[in-house]
Structure 1
Amino acid sequence: MHLQNHDYDFAADALFLDFDNTLVDFAPLPESVVVPPDLITSLQYLQQAASGALAIVSGRPLTQIDHFLAPLRLPAAGVHGAERRSADGRMTQLPVPDIERLLMYLQPLAAQHAGLLLEVKRGALALHYRRAPHLEQICVQAMSEALAHEPGFALLRGSMVVEAKAADISKGDAIAAFMNEAPFAGRRPLFIGDDITDEAGFAWVQSPSAGGLGIKVGPGPSLARARIANPAAVRSMLAQVLEQQR
């Protein structure tokens, strides 16, 4: 179903937001995304309206999230939940597998093709082919072969990226951890995301025990029960809700 105004009450719900291709538009490089200034304003006031129950849940590290959303320092989960900052500022870092052997395996491929980018994270390694979409199958195959020799990782397909992440860490678990803490506890969780990395989050928030709603951005199959067209529509919705709250 397409998202309707009656599907959410951000003053009473707990809102969880992916970052790339959800709040901001897709960009040729991860570092070149553009954050509209009015998005910062919307997030700041929506967090206040929700009594603090708003968090970013992203595959990016927390340092990148903070960089793009400065001066905001929101509750956030980074690297799919491997690192998490609670609303009170407390940091949690989960144990993660070593990526060194994966990096050694994939570096020659990235060096061979100028359009490829290897992004090193804590316990995760992302191979971006945004500037070389014709190399998608080569990248997927190389990552699959690398992971065949490295236990403890799971392969994730994202928007022009294939990523190895800790197998026992997910965005669903990160959202569950937030929901056990103030100010999220006791609210209905809403999670807005765009690709397969967000499906674990959709599954958790829509479980009978959570009673929430997953909102898929853009086309494609998804567990999410609601859908919104694109990041511009997400930003417009957030701004509209802010006006209603005011």
Structure 2
Amino acid sequence: MQTSPRNPLLETLPPITPGTALFLDFDGTLVEVASQPEAVVVPATLTGVLAGLYRQLGGALALVSGRRLMDLDTFLAPLQLPSAVEHGAQRRNAEGLLISAPPADMRHVLQAAEGLLELHPGLRLERKNLALSLHYRHAPELEELCMQVMRAAVERSSGLDLMQGKCVIDLKPVGVSKGTAIAAFMAEAPFAGRQPVFAGDDVTDESGFSQVQQMGGYAVKVGPERTVAHHRCAGVVELMAWLQSAMPAAASAGAGASGGQRLTA
């Protein structure tokens, strides 16, 4: 009898079972990081895989991203999943309700970022609903200057946190993170009572890794950088193989409820 070839990757990553609550970052995890935020290429199979897992997990699948909600919905259309966006500042729950953190005063950080752009056109400013991202991917030599200027602007502001990701500086309301967003999901149906699993690739995902591990779940770091996560895979392709490998097992266990009402695929 012929057996399937051994896949070492799938032996080192945590299981996705009918009792899993699955949380996934977007950029660098489900799609490769692009030169500009709008230039990402969504794999042809991604929407179908996410829709299948959503159904098999009874709706207990959510995206946890620094993106705006409208960006995720556009990239994955017609699929609309429960999502925490802008690093936890906004969250669409399983019932489709949008929950937002109190807005912070962005005047000083916006003025500082725009001043940097006037002097250095290689920078990119991404304005969101409750957050702000300053990208220096095309001008990495400006990292120190950008951090210095934006930290000074945050010190003149109230209610703002600064985070540094991969060639980006993120400003968001204080007190919210990917970790707080995952904790909020886990207090609600259909996530409550399940074992959380979160996969992400950036420093901004570390709060989510810590949160799921504190709750007895699993964290998966995508990429080689240092992390608190106990599991790791090399990149987007390997992450997708892990997700696809879980679909037959979940289906055979009978996890086929549709869960929420926002699945339109």
The normalised TM-score by structure 1 is 0.94
SS of residue in 2 equivalent to 1:95: coil
Structure with the greater relative contact order (CA < 8 A, sep ≥ 6): 1 or 2? 2
Code of the aligned partner of 1:224: A
1:7 counterpart SS class: coil
Amino acid at match of 2:244: A
Quote the residue 1:106 is aligned against.
113
Q: For each residue in 1:223-243, what CA deviation from the matched residue of structure 2 results, as whole angstroms up to 9, or x when unmatched?
A: 111111111111121122224
Structure 2 match to 1:39: 46
Q: Give the aligned partner of residue 221 of structure 2.
A: 216
What does the per-residue CA deviation read over 1:193-234, in whole Å, with 9 as the maximum and x for residues that have no partner?
111111111111111xx1111111101111111111111111
Paired AA for residue 18 in structure 2: A
Number of residue pairs matched by the alignment: 243
Q: How does 1:24-173 map to 2 (within 5 A)?
A: 24-173=31-180
Deviation at 1:6, TM superposition (A): 6.8
C-alpha displacement at 1:95, in angstroms?
Answer: 0.7
Identity fraction in percent:
47
Corresponding residue number in structure 2 for 1:235: 240
CA displacement, residues 96-136 of structure 1 (integer Å, 9 cap, x when unaligned) = 20212211122021122221111112222110011222222
Instruction: Please state how far the C-alpha of 1:244 moved relative to its aligned partner.
Output: 4.0
Distance of aligned partners of 1:3 and 1:113 in 2 relative to their CA distance in 1, 3 Å threshold: farther
What SS does the corresponding residue of 2:84 show, helix, strand or coil?
Answer: strand
Offset of residue 3 of structure 1? 6.3
CA RMSD in angstroms comes to: 1.5
1:156 shift after superposition: 0.6
Matched, 1:203 2:175: no
- 2:55 maps to a residue whose letter is Q
1:88 aligned counterpart, secondary structure = coil
2:27 to 20, 24, 28: 20
Larger CA Rg, structure 1 vs 2: 2
Distance in 1 between residues matched to 2:17 and 2:172, nearest whole Å: 31
Tell me the SS of whatever aligns to 1:155. strand
* Residue 28 of structure 1: how far off its partner (Å): 0.3
Once the two structures are superposed, residues 40-66 of structure 1 have per-residue CA deviations (whole angstroms, 9 ceiling, x without a partner) of 110010111111100000011111111
Give the gaps of 5 or more residues in structure 2: 1-8, 252-265
Q: Give the distance between the partners of 1:113 and 1:243, measured in 2 at CA.
A: 50
